[in-house]
Amino acid sequence: MIYCFLRAIFCVLYKLVFRAEILGKENLPKEGAVILAANHMSNVDPPLLATFLPRPVCYMAKQELFEVPILGFVITRAHSFPVKRGSGDRGAIKAAVTVLKQGRVLGLFPEGTRSKDGKIHKAEAGVALIASMTNTPVVPACIVGTDHILKNGGFLPKLKVIYGKSMRFSGNRKEKSELEAFSQSIMDAIAKMRDENR
């Protein structure tokens, strides 16, 4: 209920205020488990990434957000679950795996944190680990413009989201180098979409 209400509000906000353009929605499978992996530049990225999709997106969010009155209540009911940053949070990984075993959409930001300069940075191995543990396809998604909201020469910039072709991990999940390489290949795909859609 809360998720649908928020999605309706964000849909109006992004379309009317930010003239959001959405490309490649057909690349998200209509059913079954899938990881949606995107670059991350702003706090508005999670709702922007999910708003125009027909399926709800579940997110990991830093634990501190769940401790904020009202906000914690809202994001919990909007399919988010907490993760402790700066450590290998096994509970969060287990929760992510559970989401995928239920055949749902899991939204992740492979860089691990927001980019402060708008650039796409090195990916962490987490997205590849979760994909390998669940044999789940990864849909790379590129977010454009959110780093210019109210700053960097912009005020209400035109936003864009591009969903790319799905990718699968086919290596050995016990090899950290192979996990890191797959995570980075996702970020490389995102960077390519960004360069093609500027």
pLDDT digits (tens, 9 = 90+) for 131-190: 999 999 999 999 999 988 877 556 788 999 999 999 999 988 889 999 999 999 999 999
Separation of first and last alpha carbons in the chain: 36
Residue 74 tokens read as 């809202």
Cβ neighbours of residue 135 closer than 8 Å, sequence gap 6 or more: 168
Cβ neighbours of residue 186 closer than 8 Å, sequence gap 6 or more: 37, 110, 123, 127, 128, 138, 140, 167
Q: Quick count: other Cβ atoms within 10 Å of Cβ 11?
A: 14
Q: What is the Cα–Cα distance from 164 to 186, expressed in whole angstroms?
A: 10
* Average pLDDT value for residue range 94-114: 92
pLDDT digits (tens, 9 = 90+) for 1-13: 788 999 999 999 9
DSSP 8-state class, residue 42: S
Planar angle of CA 106, 143, 23, nearest 5 degrees: 85
Looking at residue 101, its amino acid is: K
Q: What is the Cα–Cα distance from 113 to 62, expressed in whole angstroms?
A: 10
Q: What is the Cα–Cα distance from 48 to 29, expressed in whole angstroms?
A: 18
Mean pLDDT of the chain: 90
pLDDT digits (tens, 9 = 90+) for 87-99: 556 878 888 999 9
The pTM score is 0.90
Looking at residue 74, its amino acid is: V
Cβ neighbours of residue 97 closer than 8 Å, sequence gap 6 or more: 130, 133, 134
